[in-house]
Amino acid sequence: MAHAAMGLLRRVQHRMVESEVELKTAITLDPNNELAVRQLGFTLEFSGQPGAAIPYIEKSIRLNPRMPSLAAAYLNLGACHLFLGHADEAIDFLRKARVENPRLWYVRLVLAGALGLSGDIDGAKGEIAEALKVNPQINSLARWRAVPGLGDPQFQAQMEKTVNVGLRRAGFPDE
């Protein structure tokens, strides 16, 4: 558990290489350490490797399908699929995340981006409206980008090419 905790800390500090090393060590010591497995998936996603992240996030859900952070796991799975160009799968996972915790405004914005990217502009606008009800301060892409902890530059680049394109299509302003 110490390696898993250190891996989580390093991910939050944006020290992705160190995070990956710690989390892989934790998994070597205990292959069923759900925290380490999930965090390794998140680390890989945030360091620009969504394809490598998916099996770890999926395994973490199998290991603990009732985890308190299930919404986050579905959100990250959805984002990974979106980054890989699998919009339909992404939307399915993002809707599961929304069901798990409808108060997470950022889930709704990522879902809105996926819907906008896939051409469902009305659905995207509806999700944006719901996100703004929960958190009216994040009312533009500039404010969305300023939220702390949204990953490394590779993750941000993937967000720009997918989620943010979809949000723009749905009328979410840049400023």
The SS3 of residue 84 is: coil
For the domain spanning 1-67, the CATH number is 1.25.40.10
Average per-residue pLDDT in the chain? 96
- Per residue in 11-21, pLDDT (tens digit) is 999 899 999 99
Residue 149 CA to residue 18 CA, distance in Å, equals: 17
Please check the confidence at residue 1 and state whether its pLDDT lies above 90.
yes
The closest of 143, 157, 128, 141 to 50, measured between CA atoms, is: 157
The DSSP letter of residue 147 is: S
Segments of the chain assigned to CATH 1.25.40.10: 1-67, 70-175
Higher per-residue confidence, 61 vs 154:
61
Domain spanning 70-175: which CATH class is it, in words?
mainly alpha
Percent of the chain with pLDDT over 90: 92
Please give the model's pTM, rounded to 2 decimal places: 0.94
* pLDDT tens digit sequence for 91-139: 999 999 999 999 999 999 999 999 999 999 999 999 999 999 999 999 9
Q: How many residues does the chain have?
A: 175
Cβ neighbors of 92 (< 8 A, separation 6 or more) are 78
Which DSSP helix (H) or strand (E) runs through 14?
none
